[in-house]
Structure 1
Amino acid sequence: MQNFREALEILEQKGLLLSIKEPRSVMYEIARELKAEDGKRAILFEKPLLSDGNPSPIRVAGGICSNIRFILEVLGLNTRKELRELLRKAINNPILPVESERAPVKEIGLEEFDLRRDLPILKHYSGEPGPYITTGIVIVEDETGKFSASYHRMTPISRNRLVLRAVEGRKLHRLITKAEREGRELNVAVAIGVGMNILIAGATPAEDRDKLGIAGAISGSPVELTDCETVEAKMPGNAEIVLEGKILPRIRELEGPFYEILGKDVVRKQPVLEVSKIWRRKDAIYQALLPGGKEHEILMGLPVEALLEESVSKVAEVKNLCMTPAGGMWVEVAISIKKERDEQPMLVALNAIVAHKSLKRIIIVDEDVDVENYEELMKAVVQRADPSRDYKVIADILGSSLDHSNIRFLTVKGEKVPIEYPRSKIIIDATIKGPKELFERPEIPPSGRKSEE
């Protein structure tokens, strides 16, 4: 599945897409509707209004990944486990992209534009400094010919410039740093509104692989690329919208605050993208994503599950695995295993940490616990784990920058100053260690009445 609008059509056929034909403003109104339907239905806004009140020629759609069922329906899968298996195969057996002259995205090209006037960029919350593009996938070809494709939030700071968040240490940040050392700009394409294959691949933290190759393997056919015209870069030919441009060397502007899955992210100086051309389909659909909503959580956490399963399967037979809602699908994982020995859960947890360093809490349970049912999971934690023996805390270890629980006020010269302490992790072994019969669940047998002859 390589087309954004095909995904919308599938959701519509399944009764999972709401079409709103009345005008809705990009200033909070569209975000309010997305919040109301978060996880229930995707929404297509037929008549968006720009911030100046004028109608936008570009429709807006959001929430297509706000429920795991939506993703499974679009990909033709039945279970979360099937999705993990598909993604693991795609990571290990990519189908590399190909060049194609077919490019619906090039139906309209703009070299004279104003980002806020020509795109229906949403302002979601009152605490944001401005409107944010939240589904922009930045595509860069590295020096080895592999394509990096990753999500980066970005907000306009002028007619043709955006400041974008590039997390330190991740691939785009490394590519920016390398280009700056060499005294050059980094040419990029930013795709908005792509098929489910690229949406999932772009969120997959397999930075040593060709991300568009992963996308091709998810759909079973190569991603078709076409050339940008103002910079040396490639773009997906069937995207809805593409911004082509360059990340400027050694130029930084303030970015944030921004509402993340675990709270409010801070203000930082971040790289600047200068857009040189906007491409779009004639009837383009702009993809929106509600920051801090279910779609945000799912796109961050769901692809991580495949990498976790790959890692922990080296030391145990994994029955199921789930990034949890309490952890925003990012900092907590629950793993059910077929336990063979009492030391095994700790090995499973350590392998999970190696695969995903942002984990804060790792819960290991027996195979009879449904990890996708959070109430059932918590019952296992309370009833099967003894805190003094089965909770293991690892102090002073790298965690997620989105987790603010390590920040404390310290009084300095009579004033309270927020101090960021080193982070920690906790491993909870909620497997049964004693007699299993003590944890048996009652079963009601069939009727004891004798059948009438």
Structure 2
Amino acid sequence: MTLREWIGFLKERGKLLSLKDEFSPQWEISAALRILQTKRIKKGVLFERVKGYEGYRIVGNLFLDEDFLSAKSGSEDISDWYEKRRNKPIPPVLVRSGPVKEVKINGEGLDLKKEIPALVHHEEDVGPYLTSSVIIAKDPETGKKGVGIHRVQILEGNRIRVFIANPPLSLFVKKAEELKKPLEIAIVNGLDPVTLFSSIIPLPEEDKFALAGALKGEPLLLVQAETIDVEVPAEGEIVLEGVLYPDRKEIDGPFGENTGYYFVNESYGGLIKALTRRKDPIYHVILPFSPEVENIINLAWQLEEFKKLKNDFDFVKKVKFYQTRMLAVVQIQKENQSQVSLIIEHLLDQPIIKGVIVVDEDVDVNDLNEIFWAIITRVDFEKNIFLKREKPGCPIDPMGRGYYREKSLFYGLYPKITKIGIDATKPIDERERFKKVDVPFSVIEKIKGVLEVDRENNL
């Protein structure tokens, strides 16, 4: 399924909003998407006319819920669906050409700001950025492919800046720096939702395109780039082929990041050598600091992290991430107090995760009201709060200080922060006292059946 096929899928099911008015990429499209998100309208949005970019369309709000996987998973639990396919990769297939090659533009004289309707997202953003494009590169030593989403600042002419904080590209650019050579990259926009989703799952040492094939049930088609030794998705919408210069560290920003604050970072300067695209490209956008980015990042992490936690700790029942994976809520079957400590220690040792809340099986990890209820009624604030200092944090946490690149974590960029663990489980020796009120289970099941009949009869 391509991005276009997914848009058609949404349209057939009444889940696509097509806007005929002209919208500007500077703030207006961002504003429209944000307003619709605020109104909880969970539909994809297709902008039919983009000011200054004849022939282009822009699509957004594709990840507001888990429906982007529903075409494959149906009614099956997504965690079960992912687990069944996770270890059955389907490698990509190299083909001679594809729709992404319909138009080819040489990098010399290329004006990226005129060619791509990259959004200016926020009031104080320094300029247009790509925030939903997948970057592909190869390990300069081994040739192994790596994939991830990293923000790209569009500059004058064919110049770009790329902020690379996470593996595997953080490792690749470090190796390129040591070898004193540029790093070839392909920046791809307009991938199908499953392939884009696969690119952000935290698997720095695995082929994410093979994972995408497993989740899609068919191989991803790749085609050779025009000017660099990188293969790119043949059915994407737009490809930028270029190089990054590890020795060109430039100030990037301010830019409004996923955590809701403006950041100025040191990024890598680069040049675009060629642009290829479809004749009538659809540019895909994801708003930073939005329910959409929150959903896709948290889901990607919890699917993979739940699998790992279940392997290591059989008492873990569910995991839910919040705040772009900085907060983890873990539901356990508690048998002793040491289980809570094990989970908190394990997760807080990982980068990015800043807070861990452990709850019992009677607390729904998807319901923030229940989580807060457990914290306020079950936590002894003298005994059940744990602080861990000098731990690797999230590179876009405004509380972060003392940034460094960690060799053991693929030279990812992390600040040193203090993290928190909260034991919101019932005291092991007072379970009856903390029993949650409820209606008898048999009555609940009976009334569910009655209500279902009433719903079918429109009563």
Distance 1:394 1:171 in 2: 27
Residue in 1 that maps onto 2:406:
none
Mapping for residues 224-263 of structure 1, pairs under 5 Å: 224-263=221-260
Shift in Å, 1:91: 4.6
Q: TM-score, normalised by structure 1?
A: 0.87
Conserved? CA contact 1:147–1:212, under 8 Å: no
Which secondary structure does the structure 1 equivalent of 2:4 belong to?
A: helix
Shift in Å, 1:299: 2.8
Residue in 2 that maps onto 1:416:
none
Distance 1:284 1:166 in 2: 26
Shift in Å, 1:102: 4.3
Which secondary structure does the structure 1 equivalent of 2:46 belong to?
A: strand
Shift in Å, 1:264: 2.2
Residue in 2 that maps onto 1:98:
93
Question: In the alignment, does 2:278 pair up with 1:284?
Answer: no
Which one of the candidate residues 358, 361, 367 is aligned to 1:367?
A: 361
Question: In the alignment, does 2:379 pair up with 1:385?
Answer: yes
**Cα RMSD between the aligned structures?**
2.3
Shift in Å, 1:24: 0.7
Mapping for residues 204-243 of structure 1, pairs under 5 Å: 204-243=201-240
Number of matched pairs: 423
Conserved? CA contact 1:148–1:212, under 8 Å: no
Question: In the alignment, does 2:192 pair up with 1:195?
Answer: yes
Shift in Å, 1:321: 1.3
Question: In the alignment, does 2:116 pair up with 1:119?
Answer: yes
Which deviates more from structure 2 when the two are superposed, residues 299-308 or residues 237-246?
Answer: 299-308
Residue in 2 that maps onto 1:413:
none
Distance 1:359 1:9 in 2: 37
Question: In the alignment, does 2:108 pair up with 1:109?
Answer: no
Q: 1:423 to 1:183 in 2, by over 3 A?
A: closer
Mapping for residues 43-54 of structure 1, pairs under 5 Å: 43-50=45-52
Shift in Å, 1:236: 0.4
Mapping for residues 228-377 of structure 1, pairs under 5 Å: 228-313=225-310, 314-324=312-322, 328-354=323-349, 356-377=350-371
Distance 2:158 2:150 in 1: 17
State the one-letter code of the partner of 2:94.
Answer: E
State the one-letter code of the partner of 2:340.
Answer: P
Q: Which runs of 5+ in 2 are unaligned?
A: 403-413, 445-459
Which secondary structure does the structure 2 equivalent of 1:364 belong to?
A: strand
Distance 2:431 2:161 in 1: 56
Distance 1:262 1:121 in 2: 20
Conserved? CA contact 1:87–1:303, under 8 Å: no
Distance 1:337 1:70 in 2: 27
Residue in 1 that maps onto 2:43:
41
Residue in 1 that maps onto 2:4:
5
Query: CA offsets, 1:355-384, max 9 Å, x none?
Result: x42111101111111110000111011111
Mapping for residues 176-191 of structure 1, pairs under 5 Å: 176-191=173-188
Q: 1:436 to 1:294 in 2, by over 3 A?
A: same
Distance 1:177 1:89 in 2: 35
Which deviates more from structure 2 when the two are superposed, residues 142-151 or residues 14-23?
Answer: 142-151
Shift in Å, 1:19: 0.6
Conserved? CA contact 2:69–2:194, under 8 Å: no
Q: 1:180 to 1:316 in 2, by over 3 A?
A: same
Conserved? CA contact 2:298–2:320, under 8 Å: no
Shift in Å, 1:147: 2.1
Query: CA offsets, 1:400-444, max 9 Å, x none?
Result: 122223679xxxxxxxxxxx9951111111111233332333344
Shift in Å, 1:145: 4.6
Residue in 2 that maps onto 1:396:
390
Mapping for residues 45-194 of structure 1, pairs under 5 Å: 45-50=47-52, 55-65=53-63, 67-78=64-75, 82-111=77-106, 113-142=110-139, 143-167=141-165, 170-194=167-191
Shift in Å, 1:93: 3.2
Q: Which runs of 5+ in 1 are unaligned?
A: 409-419, 448-453
Distance 1:98 1:295 in 2: 30
Conserved? CA contact 1:10–1:73, under 8 Å: no
Query: In percent, how many aligned pairs have the same letter?
Result: 30
Conserved? CA contact 1:107–1:281, under 8 Å: yes
Conserved? CA contact 2:348–2:391, under 8 Å: no
Which secondary structure does the structure 2 equivalent of 1:47 belong to?
A: strand
Shift in Å, 1:90: 4.8
Conserved? CA contact 2:348–2:355, under 8 Å: no
Q: TM-score, normalised by structure 2?
A: 0.86
Shift in Å, 1:144: 3.8
Query: CA offsets, 1:287-333, max 9 Å, x none?
Result: 01112112222232221112321232212333221112xxx132111
Distance 1:269 1:393 in 2: 30
State the one-letter code of the partner of 2:35.
Answer: A
